[in-house]
Amino acid sequence: MSLPLRNALIALAITIVLAGTVAYAVNYLNDARVADLSTIEDQLSIDTLSLDTQFSLLEAAPCDSAASSTALTGELSDLGNRLAYAEGQLGSNDAQVVRLKEQYSLLEIRDYLITKQLAAACGTKPVTVLYFYSNAGDCADCDKAGYALSYLRTTYPSLRVYSFDYNLDLGALKTLISLDKIKKGSLPAFVINGKASNGFTSLPDLEKLFPKDALATSTPPKS
């Protein structure tokens, strides 16, 4: 076998191995993403059932369900982070991502309604934040606002932050947007304990929108 032919065969073999490795890696990552989305979907189903149970508890013994509602807040936050990662990997227009975001948004709205019912029935004073954003390239400050809210939620675990993609074609979300009078051109938009505000400049300015001492009474994580 001539030297040029041997080199050509070696090069071909290396190319085949590299192509096979890349194909395996791509398939593995795709499988992992699909598995993660399936896990998110399963957890959404479980949390939805949990909320349905809480609605039933509210009818019989409203204040007894307060603890479980608080526990669900952490799960919602974790699900939201994982869903945001999946969206970043697969794109905001991926059909499965859109469906999961719709389910997650409904779950958030239902949890928000439970929180309001508990506040009315049991005298609790939660600090709730509805955050409306767009990732369609038409909201320059939405990323910064999202990071600021993530920081506040981590620093003050008792905050109840609900994030909504303004562009989702979801009836319940459109009703919420209409009730709070949120306009697309005003994003990012916040509704903090029922009071709406538009735009984002800085974390200190965002903190000023909260009720007096609302953040101070929250318990920051131990250092």
Give the strands of the sheet with 128-133, arranged side by side: 160-165, 128-133, 189-192, 195-198
According to CATH, what is the number of the domain 127-223? Answer: 3.40.30.10
| Spans of all domains in the chain | 1-126, 127-223
What value does the mean pLDDT of the chain take? Answer: 77
Name the CA radius of gyration of the chain, rounded.
23
Least confident interval from 18-22, 39-43, 76-80, 95-99? 18-22
pLDDT of 137 > 70? The answer is yes
**If you average pLDDT over residues 139-145, what whole number do you get?**
92
pTM over 0.85: no
Q: How confident is the model at residue 113 (pLDDT cuts 50, 70, 90)?
A: confident
Amino acid letter, 91: G
Task: In whole angstroms, give the CA distance from residue 165 to residue 159.
Answer: 19
* Residue 110: Cβ within 10 Å count: 17
Question: Hey, what are 167's tokens?
Answer: 């562009």
Amino acid letter, 140: A
The residue that leads in pLDDT, 181 or 70, is 181
Q: What is the pLDDT of residues 4-46, one digit of tens each?
A: 656 566 666 666 656 556 554 445 455 555 566 777 777 767 7
User: In sequence order, what DSSP letters do the residues of 167-195 get, joined into one string?
Assistant: T---HHHHHHHHHTT--GGG-SEEEETTE
Which residues, other chains included, contact 78 with Cβ-Cβ below 8 Å and sequence gap of 6+? none
